[in-house]
Each structure stands twice: as structure tokens, then as C-alpha cells.
Amino acid sequence: MAKFIFVTGGVVSSLGKGIATASIGLLLKSRGMKVTLQKFDPYINVDPGTMSPFQHGEVFVTDDGAETDLDLGHYERFVNESLTRNHNLTTGQIYNSVIEKERKGEFLGGTIQVVPHITNEIKTRIRKLANKVDVVITEIGGTVGDIEGLPFLEAIRQMALEEKKDDVLYIHLTLVPFIETSFEYKTKPTQHSVKELREIGIQPDIILCRTRLSLPQDAKDKIALFCNVPKQAVIEAIDVQDIYEIPLIFAQQGLDKLIIKRLNLHKIAKPPKLDQWQKYVDNSKNPGQEISLGICGKYTKLRDAYKSVIEAIKHAATQQKTRVNLHWLESESINFHNSKQQFSNLAGVIIPGGFGMRGIEGKISAIKYFRENKMPFLGLCIGLQCAVIEFARNVCGLKDANSTEFNPKTRYPVIYLLPAQRGKRQKGGTMRLGKYPASLNKDSLAYQCYQKEIIWERHRHRYEVNNRFVSTLTKKGLVMSGIYKPENLVEIIELKNHPFFLATQFHPEFTSRPLQPNPLFTGFIKAAIEYARKT
């Protein structure tokens, strides 16, 4: 039977609880244990798929097509394993399933209540992951003290009652602010947050302190005393430049040893193996060169909206010992006249996914510039759709060609909805989601990158390339280099006689990992380095 680690957060949100959880996962995995990670989100939406990127940041998509919290992206990247819809649950999903059972009559005669019915459902979802692993690590979203988080905290409190003492461990991440005027670290917010947890009945075993710089010993001692934990269980989570350094910082302070001791994992724990990870971090901190790349989209004010794209760029660039200087280009402010000025100092541009009409014409102008000026370009999902529209309009002469998403009445609907997607009323979970195979042309840039004939990548979109226009587009030189054969759908387009002009209907950013960058990102970064060298 597996052991359970629960990670909660206190004081404020956005302390990096997801990254801390992912780091703990990596540390245990690097000691030979099988781990899995799970996140509970206390909001009522069934999943984040219907939320605006401005509200929620990126929606991360799993192989099985679940639209999940972006922390799952961190989990996959750190632990290097693909997760499923069972690894991210929301209040909405928990209530949904309890209510469904009630309607079926499964609790006939009973009154359905938060305790025990909702908390039982939560515990079932935790234990569901326990059979094939040594440790299940569950992160509770939100901050201790939020009303909506209470059922989750109550459920994890009960876990300690029901499991053996050395099978359950609680880790609490808090903020230890530094007050400039008095020049000292303040432990009071941590004390209060732990007090709140203890009122609920949870005594944390380990406290992770988010702090700007290293904490003085007296501050740590104070936290230990007031929060009722041993001194060595107060661990610093110092601000770092590169998130991938966090597991190394935790390991230096013995976090893995502490967990192994407390959960009695000695028998299965092996010596830590973090050399590859360390090498990655060293490369990322000491790059040999730097290039400037652009990301052109409409959610540029909230960088979290492009989390996986940013990480995928970092992975590929670090592998090439290169630092990337990212420039954010608001697609709405780009047009034919200012393209040169916007792009001339860059080595390449990515147009990531997006929804709706705003900024589309800017993206199309930008792509014309990349095509004509032979500048490296990688288009993701809507990036492919805009590239097809641009080519249809400006190379094939199909004036006003468009996607029916942006102009339902266009004469040339080069991007459109397949009959299966037309008239769909329900928005949540109804896109083409999750992993699908694409067959690659052997004589293509895509094949050169992947070195494989069949690749699997993840999707999240409704619209597709309209096959009615494929022969017109190919005759003029657009190469459809990847196809989803069962439905004959275009997955990748590219141009010949161009250093790197490639766009995908899928999202390659979701499968990139620090030690295994996605091949298309690697290809793009290599082309950008070459372009920067020549210009």
C-alpha cells in the first residue's frame, strides 16, 4: 500500500506550491521510488477548460484529453511521467459525482452531507491512485483559511486517522516576508497559518518557507518552536532564477531524507540520482550564448497563459546551451507597416494557441513577414490556422480567406468546423482533446526533427484545415507534412526553401520535458541560433 503526502499552502497564493509538490515528486523518484502526483482545485468549475486564460493561466492538456490546471504541467515536467484526468480534481467534479450517485439511489434513505459523503468521495479519489505506486503526493489548491478548501482539508485530516501513522505526511508551504525597515524576517504569518491548520486538526510535519534569501537560524528555530515541528523540518524555499533548481535546493537541506525517515521508506529508498538534473541546471545557469525570441499572442499580459510554451522554449534552448531573451508581442498591435520594426531584432517567433477573433489580423501580418523574410517561425494550433489563412490569401490569391471562427460567412473557409463539431451546444470538454497520432512525410522538416514516422501529440481545438482547399494550397507550395490518417486531417504544415517555417494543429509544448525537449522546439531553437548568427 502506498504512502500519502499532502501539500497545503498558507499566507498567500502563488508561492509556488505546484513547483514545490513537483520537486518533492522528483526527489523521491530520484531515490528509486514510484511516485504519482495529484492536485485538488477547490473551485466549482468542473475543469478549467471554460475559464479565460486571464483568470486561470494556461489550461494544461493530458494524453487522455483532460483539461487541467497548469500545475499538472509542472508535475509532468519534473517527474517525467504522463498524468491523466484522475490527477486533477475540482470541487465541481467531486460534487457532480456525489450528486449522480444520489440520483441513482446509491445512498437511498440517507441525508447527503459534506461530511461524510463529500469527504469520502475525496478520499476515494486519493486512494484510487495508490495501487501502483510507493507514494501519492496530493496538493490542495488555494490557501488554508479559504472557505472552499475546507472539505479537502477535512478529508486529508481523516486520512491520518484511517491510515497508519507512518503512512501519512503533511507538508505546509508558507511565506516568510522580509521587512526592509526593521531589516528582519517575520515568522508571524507562518505561525498564524499553521495555527489555522492545527485548528482543523492537521499538524504539519514539514514546513517549507518561501523566502527571498536564506533564513537566519533564529527565524527557523522560532518557526520550529511555534509551529511544533523539529528544527530540521523547517526547510527554505528560496527565490531562484530557474524553477528546476528547487529540487536541488530541497535536497541540499535533506528534505528527501526527512520524508524517507518519517514515512519509513528506508527499505525501498536508493541513493539519490540527480546528476542529469544537476547538469541541466548548470547548463541553464551558464549558457554559452543568448538569442532573442518573440511570442506573439493576445494573452501577453498574463505570462502564465503560455506556461508550457515558455518551459518548452527553455528546455530546448538549455539543451543547446543558449539563454533565451523572450519578447512579448501583443498581436493586436502588429500590422503590415510595423512588422519590420517589431521583428528585426529577433531570431524567431512563436505564435501560440488562442481563441477568438481579437489579434488575428496581426498574427496573419506577422506570418507574412516571417514567410517573406525567411525568419524562423513556429505556429501552434491557432498559429497553424493563421499560417494557412495567410498562405491562402497572399500566395493562392483566395482573397479574404478565413476561418469560420473569425468570419462565418467567408467565401474561402480554409479553416472550418468538421460536421461533428457543428451545432455543439455544450462548451465544456467538447473540443478535439488529448493525444492523436500523426503520420509524417519522410521528406519533411517535421520528420527531420522527430526522426519518426508516427508521432503522438496533444490537441485542444475545434477547428481544422478544410480539405477542400488542400490541393490549391499544396500546388502553391504549402507542405502538409503531418496527417492524422484515420480522419485525413492536417496536423503539420511547413514551407520548403525556408530555414524553419512550421506550424502544428496540436500543442507540442505539452510533451516537452527538461531532459527531453520536444523535437519541434529543438528544431526551431537550432534554426533561430543559426538565423541570429547570420544576421
Residues with a known catalytic role: 381, 507, 509
User: Least separation, in Å, of the C-beta of 473 and ligand GLN?
Assistant: 18
Distances (CA, A) of 151 to 146, 308, 423: 10, 30, 38
Residue 248 to residue 273: CA distance in whole angstroms: 11
Calculate Rg over the CA atoms of the chain. Answer: 25
Cβ atoms within 10 Å, residue 486 = 8
Cis peptide before 116 (omega within 30 of 0): yes
Q: Is the Cβ of residue 435 or residue 461 nearer to ligand GLN in the bound state?
A: 461
Instruction: Return the HEC string of 280-313.
Output: HHHHHHCCCEEEEEEEEECCCCCHHHHHHHHHHH
Q: Which is nearer to ligand GLN, 315 or 460 (CB)?
A: 460
CA distances (Å), origin 290, targets 284, 328, 349, 520, 527: 11, 17, 15, 19, 14
Residue 413 bridge partners (DSSP): 402
Q: Which of 242, 244, 199, 239 lies closest to 215, judged by CA?
A: 239
**413-to-140, 403, 416, 493 alpha-carbon distances in Å:** 45, 5, 6, 17
Least separation in angstroms between CB 192 and ligand GLN:
42
Q: Which is nearer to ligand GLN, 216 or 428 (CB)?
A: 428
Max Cα–Cα distance, the chain, nearest Å: 76
Using an 8 Å Cβ cutoff, are 180 and 194 in contact?
no
From residue 50, alpha-carbon distances to 41, 44, 46, 88 in Å are: 15, 12, 9, 15
Alpha carbons 226 and 224: distance in angstroms, whole number:
6
* Shortest Cβ 462–ligand GLN spacing (Å): 4
Strand partners, 39: 88, 139
* 37 or 401: CB nearest ligand GLN: 401
Q: Which of 204/354 has CB closer to ligand GLN? A: 354
- Shortest CB 355 distance to ligand GLN, Å: 4
- What is the smallest separation between the CB atom of 380 and ligand GLN, expressed in angstroms? 7
Sheet strands (E) in 77-228: 88-90, 135-140, 168-175, 178-179, 184-185, 206-211
Compute the distance between CA of residue 118 and CA of residue 30 in angstroms, rounded to an integer.
35
Nearer to ligand GLN, 244 or 463 (CB): 463
Contact (Cβ atoms closer than 8 angstroms) between residue 84 and residue 64: yes
Nearer to ligand GLN, 250 or 510 (CB): 510
Distance of closest approach, residue 383 Cβ to ligand GLN, in angstroms: 7
Nearest alpha carbon to residue 96 among 75, 121, 74:
121
Q: Output the smallest distance, CB 410 to ligand GLN, in A.
A: 15
- The footprint of ligand GLN (CB under 6 A) covers 353-355, 381-382, 405, 460-463
User: Min. distance of Cβ 490 from ligand GLN in angstroms?
Assistant: 12
CB of 395 to ligand GLN, least distance (A): 22
Q: In terms of CB distance, is 236 or 509 closer to ligand GLN?
A: 509
Handedness of CA 393, 398, 404, 410 (dihedral sign): positive
